[in-house]
Amino acid sequence: MTEGLGHRENSHALTRHRKPSEHYEIVVINLWLGRKVEHVKSIQLKNGQLILIREAVKEDAQELVNYLHKIGGESDFLTFGSGELSISANDEESIIEESRNAKNKIMLLALVDNKVIGCLSFVNGARARTQHTGEFGLSVLKDYWGQGIGSAMLKELIRWAKDSNTIKKLNLRVRSDHAKAIELYKRFGFVQEGMITRELMISEKFYDFCCMGLCID
């Protein structure tokens, strides 16, 4: 199941109810890549597979485009369907570079053998009065649902926000009928703050979006 918004209509994909630390080990490593430190997590899933979570770099652009095209056809919880998202590798490279050059933006990728299987993108406000808050989108390929990858990426986002000394609020929008995703966000402390009606229409049916937020203190 995927849900989604973000810097270019990103998404969310998470399933089973579980504790953030359940079924995987996390090792945090700091690597210097060009302009800033990149946060990397090595995650061993319960099936023994090794997953890396790290900040996106421009060399990921084409693989990320391939990923976005694939998830577009995997779930109706996305804000875009199969073939609807038109973005080139050059466009994606610019988005990645903008995120890396900005102090209070972050794009995290989950990878297996250099293949993108998950993405989280957070963008904060552009002005002084709104730079303390922002919205994120989160997605995971269907083959990897229920493995704790989304939980690990969300945990890293919250840790990064707390360390930023600028970000004081994380916001998201999730389809109101996506009970498992809402349950997950609540488990991380997010609270429902409102509802946007008829935000999505699929096959002539309307869907509402739930607005949720987490204060970072």
Q: What is the pLDDT of residues 147-182, one digit of tens each?
A: 989 999 999 999 999 999 999 999 999 999 999 899
Of 2, 1, 5, give the one whose Cα is nearest residue 173.
5
Strands (DSSP E) along the chain, which ranges?
2-3, 12-13, 25-33, 36-44, 50-55, 106-112, 115-124, 133-140, 169-175, 191-202, 205-215
Task: Kindly tell me if the per-residue pLDDT of 137 is higher than 60.
Answer: yes
> CA 11, 19, 188: angle at the middle one, nearest 5?
55
pLDDT of 6 above 50? no
d(CA 68, CA 13): 13
What does DSSP say about strands 36-44 and 25-33: parallel, antiparallel, or unpaired? antiparallel
Q: How far is CA 167 from the centre of its chain?
A: 16
Check if the beta carbon of residue 11 is closer than 8 Å to that of residue 138.
yes
For residue 39, what pLDDT is reported?
64
pLDDT in tens, 193-210: 999 999 999 999 999 999
Q: What's the mean per-residue pLDDT of the chain?
A: 83
Average pLDDT over residues 104-111: 96
Domains and CATH numbers, the chain: 2-167 (3.40.630.30)
Q: What's the pLDDT at 9?
A: 45
* Cut 0.85: pTM above it: no
Split at pLDDT 50, 70, 90, the class of 45 is confident
pLDDT at 38: 56
Q: 134 pairs with which residues across the strands?
A: 124, 170
Return all residues near 204 (Cβ < 8 A) that are at least 6 apart.
Answer: none
Round to whole Å and give the CA distance between 31 and 39.
7
